[in-house]
Amino acid sequence: MFDTGPRVDPPPSDPRSHVPTWRYHARELGRRLSHYVAKRRRGYRDRGSLERAAETILAERAERGFEAGGHFRGVWPRDLCFAARGLVAAGYGSEVAETGDRIIDSLSEVFYTDFHDEYRAATPAEGVDTFPALVLLLSAVDRLEAHADSIIDLAAIYREKFVGPETGLVTGRGSSWWDSAAQPREAYNTVLLLAAVERLEERGIATTFTGESESIRNALVSHLWNGSYFDERRGSSVLACDANVTALYFGLVDDERARSIADSLSTLETPYGLRMRARPFGPTEVHPFFLLHRDYHYHVWPWNSLTYANGIAGYGLEERAQREVNRIERLLAPYGNFLEVCTFEGEPYVKRGYASAEDFTVAAALWTEYDRRFRD
């Protein structure tokens, strides 16, 4: 389990305070290249059936604070907020709660994205989704009230840094799920904040956002709903999974909009699951670190598809959900593992020095959630 230290951030000389972006990316590049070479030489670890793979991966992760998996050796709150339900269903609620406690005790002025034993990092910038993700994972394990004072303080800091007062959208720049993108993921970030605010209001925790869930929803719809789905941001109507799948997973839209989103996302279907975006990012649309992998958030991500399946199943679209799960299981079964990202041809994404992570915690957890909640 990672040790994040006390509530008060340590001095800058302490390596646990933060790691500069350049140093983090140097470490990350080293890990990625080592992982890439290993996967090219030996392939991916076959853990047997997907049921066995999920059980093994989650048990191993529970012992280490739910690191993301593969060469991602830190704990990422954004992954955990989607994994939490499945982890609870698998019997790891107390371990998730302990991890959430450690994360929130390590935050004050900086919204880190990646938590390690030795350090914390905000990469490629502060996490725009760190605060709402933390609220959602703590909500899943009934730990919001235990950290009410910290949440109230963090909500105020978050609002000042990231929320646009003119629009009510989350417009601030920083890192979020699609951290390759250079422009703010306005729809996804606002959707995640809405999900968090709804849960805080339900629990009666008074923050700077109390009573604003409906106005946040109205801002989201008025600025980004195009009649069929949520635009990824103002100025770009490209169909993208991050905001739309997240809205379905956390139950933030009515039945009519849910069906409209599902119909729109069906245009992204491949034989092996949804592709993440209607087209890959252009060279100027990504951070320099991702120039060689502009299609990273374009291919098939099993955990995106499993998030989608859980979401639409919750709206009663069980047959459509099962078809998506079948596609993902057909993709992953030959590898006996839960992979991070795969190509449209049904193979792990391995190109130009980057190889998909294996043993991906959030994918195994979301598969477990679907298996426990919706499987016939």
Write the pLDDT tens digit of every residue in 202-232: 999 999 999 999 999 999 999 999 999 999 9
Q: In sequence order, what are the beta bridge partners of 115?
A: 75, 120
Name the pairing type of β-strands 273-274 and 269-270: antiparallel
The Cβ-side half-sphere exposure at 333, using a 13 Å CA radius, reads 7
Per-residue pLDDT, 188: 98
Per-residue pLDDT, 15: 38
pTM of the predicted model as reported, rounded to 2 decimal places: 0.93
Alpha carbon distance 97, 203 (integer Å): 17
Alpha carbon distance 235, 115 (integer Å): 33
For residue range 98-153, list pLDDT tens digits in order.
999 999 999 989 999 999 888 888 877 899 999 999 999 999 999 999 999 999 99
Per-residue pLDDT, 10: 36
What token pair was written down for 18?
């933060």
Per-residue pLDDT, 64: 86
Per-residue pLDDT, 96: 97
Q: Identify the sign of the CA torsion 55, 56, 59, 61.
A: negative
Per-residue pLDDT, 30: 79
Q: In sequence order, what are the beta bridge partners of 354?
A: 351
**pLDDT per residue of the chain (376 residues) written in tens, 0 to 9:** 443 332 233 333 343 456 666 676 677 777 888 889 999 999 999 999 999 999 999 999 999 889 998 888 899 999 999 999 999 999 999 999 999 999 999 998 999 999 988 888 887 789 999 999 999 999 999 999 999 999 999 999 999 999 999 999 999 999 999 989 999 999 999 999 999 999 999 999 999 999 999 999 999 999 999 999 999 999 999 999 999 999 999 999 999 999 999 999 999 999 999 999 999 999 999 988 889 899 999 999 999 999 999 999 999 999 999 999 999 999 999 999 999 999 999 999 999 999 999 999 999 999 999 999 999 6
Per-residue pLDDT, 335: 98
Alpha carbon distance 99, 106 (integer Å): 11
What token pair was written down for 119?
């350090």
Alpha carbon distance 340, 89 (integer Å): 21
Q: What single string gives the DSSP state of each residue in 78-135?
A: HHHHHHHHHHHHTT-HHHHHHHHHHHHHT-SS---SEE-SS-EE--SS-BTTHHHHHH
Site of tokens 């915690």: 361
Nearest to 145, CA basis, from 105, 92, 205, 188: 205
CATH class of 21-369: mainly alpha
Q: Are 170 and 230 in contact (CB under 8 A)?
A: no
Per-residue pLDDT, 9: 37
